[in-house]
Amino acid sequence: MREFYSCLGTINNASIILGILFFEAKNLIQALEKEGFLERDLETETHYKNKIWAKDGVWKNTIRGNALAQAPAKTISRRKAEELVQEFLKRVKTVNENGPYLYCVKRAAVFGSFLGDSPVLGDVDIAVEISRKPYPNNKEYETKAAERRRGRRFSNIVEEIAWPHIEVEKFLRSRQRISLHDYEELENFQKQPDFKYKIMEILFNEPEKI
């Protein structure tokens, strides 16, 4: 709701912000609209009617939705945040060592309130660089990735092709209080005064070529 409060409320934006598939974002928006948190933004839809991203509709927060967006966010203790970081590193190890995943985590860095002294924090901010594992033509990887795609519904072929990358992001989050950012975002964050970040130690052993 906070994101809809400050940006165009499209299905595509919701999908990117929440790290979920297009059809999942569509179902979520429809549910929020039914509950009275969102409503169609007809004025914006008309203004941007020739834009591809507006063809599926644009939504905005209702008064009820804005109230929810501006409500104080839940916090977590520093001890809990430290546990989340350790659990995250374990998931990174699983991704990097597990053959079925086509993508791996090459770099990761934690930043934000986690590096401060406050006893309570919001989400843990982590920047990651996710890239395809070596030997992209490895049939074993491709076969196992295809098996995991079976039974899933995708809104289009692009989303299906991107699934190997998306599944790694979803696994790394694991519905925890972790906010993932692209590693390249650190360059922009570094322009801010007193910005700090800490590189995480990531181990990736390249698999033997088959």
State the pLDDT at residue 128. Answer: 93
Tell which wins on pLDDT, 71 or 90: 90
Which residues have CB under 8 Å from 66's CB, separation 6+? Answer: 1, 5
pLDDT tens-digit map of 6-19: 456 788 878 777 77
Predicted TM-score (pTM) of the model is 0.60
Which domains can be identified in the chain, with CATH numbers? 2-69 (1.10.10), 76-199 (no CATH)
Question: Binning pLDDT at 50, 70 and 90, where does residue 5 land?
Answer: very low
Cα distance between residue 117 and residue 17, in whole Å: 28
Helices (H) and strands (E) in the chain, counts: 9, 8
Question: Binning pLDDT at 50, 70 and 90, where does residue 135 land?
Answer: low
Q: Which two three-digit tokens encode residue 138?
A: 């490895």
Output phi, psi for 115, to 5 deg.
-90, 0
Average pLDDT over residues 165-177: 86
Q: Is the dihedral of CA 140, 141, 142, 144 positive or negative?
A: positive
Q: What is the largest CA-CA distance in the chain?
A: 58
Cα distance between residue 171 and residue 184, in whole Å: 20
pLDDT tens-digit map of 18-43: 777 888 888 888 988 988 888 998 88
Q: With contact defined as beta carbons under 8 Å apart, do 180 and 126 qualify?
A: yes
Tell which wins on pLDDT, 66 or 81: 81
State the pLDDT at residue 185. Answer: 82
Alpha carbon 91 to its chain centroid, in Å, reads: 15
Q: Is the dihedral of CA 157, 174, 89, 93 positive or negative?
A: negative
3-state secondary structure of 160: helix
Question: Binning pLDDT at 50, 70 and 90, where does residue 207 land?
Answer: very low
pLDDT tens-digit map of 88-125: 999 999 998 866 788 899 999 998 889 988 888 888 88
